[in-house]
Structure 1
């Protein structure tokens, strides 16, 4: 069970739920069924469910740490990555903040570019400093 891949799948599902504006278990299970590889399903489900249950708090924390940006202006993939990072840092106790930030930055570099990685690092590092 690769934790990094499980985070990536959780981020992809968060992204897709936002695109569909559907934040329910049925949609989540349907999206998850498209992944055939072995994942830490409990971890993926836990992250996505914590985000669904606490969307307002997570969005608020992201908004608080954006400098010169409004959350509505963010690229959806950047927002999904930030949601993943903040959700993990707020609600997953056994993962160090440094790991959450690093994994989110890696996802930003993979899915967008180096510039996005720096942006995600800045927002999440600011969040950690003020947590």
Structure 2
């Protein structure tokens, strides 16, 4: 497999946007991981295979392929292995009328990198993952990406906090003392009130039927 895709690279410097050079190695590793996940989905191939291909190409300077950082490899391997859990987590904290598969592909890749890091990398503080995800969204995501990506990632961090180690939705016991998750006719997992709601779905067209 050769690196012939025409997709723009997230790491490419854009006119008037040179401040990315100030970011550290881990930010660049996250950005490369987003790029690879985006490409893998667009080409319908395994992201791990892309990493392996890039590693081989990077062995020769003539190929002009930058080496893959070890943290990028960790993200891609982990995200590929835990993709179902990651996607279920994202969907849980999206607004009710939003669907993961209808988000812009870059936004989806940014969310997957951020959620993998929050859930599976205890060496990185959750707040750092949120900030870095929002920064990626601001630079490379859709126009409405940063606010709702911030909300989703922050909800994932809060759900996994020491006060809520199992990520259970918080129920106000004072509001209904008789409430139990198994009560017939009651949603056992109400969507948190802070669930991300960036407005109309990014891929919804004016002709789409109301849900």
- How far 1:24 sits from its partner (Å)? 5.2
Cα separation, partners in 2 of 1:91 and 1:121, compared to 1, 3 Å: same
What is the aligned counterpart of 1:53 among 70, 75, 81? 81
- Unaligned 5+ segments in structure 1 are none
Is this contact kept in 2: 1:13–1:31, CA < 8 A? no
Residue 92 in structure 1 maps to residue 121 in structure 2: yes
Residue of structure 2 in register with 1:7 after alignment: 30
After superposition, residues 99-114 of structure 1 pair within 5 angstroms as 99-112=128-141
Larger Rg: 2
Q: Give the match's secondary structure for 1:95.
A: coil
Residue of structure 2 in register with 1:25 after alignment: 48
Q: Which has the higher contact order (CA 8 A, sep 6+)?
A: 1
Cα separation, partners in 2 of 1:120 and 1:31, compared to 1, 3 Å: farther
C-alpha separation in 2, matches of 1:26 and 1:113: 27
Is this contact kept in 2: 1:15–1:76, CA < 8 A? yes
Q: Please list the CA deviations of residues 38-96 of structure 1 after superposition, one character each: whole Å capped at 9, or x if unmatched.
A: 66x21110000000011111111111111131111111110000000000111111100
TM-score (norm: length of structure 2): 0.56
- How far 1:114 sits from its partner (Å)? 5.7
Is this contact kept in 1: 2:36–2:50, CA < 8 A? no
Cα separation, partners in 2 of 1:52 and 1:113, compared to 1, 3 Å: closer
Is this contact kept in 1: 2:79–2:86, CA < 8 A? yes
Superposed CA RMSD in Å reads 1.9
TM-score (norm: length of structure 1): 0.88
| 19-28 vs 53-62, greater mean Cα deviation | 19-28
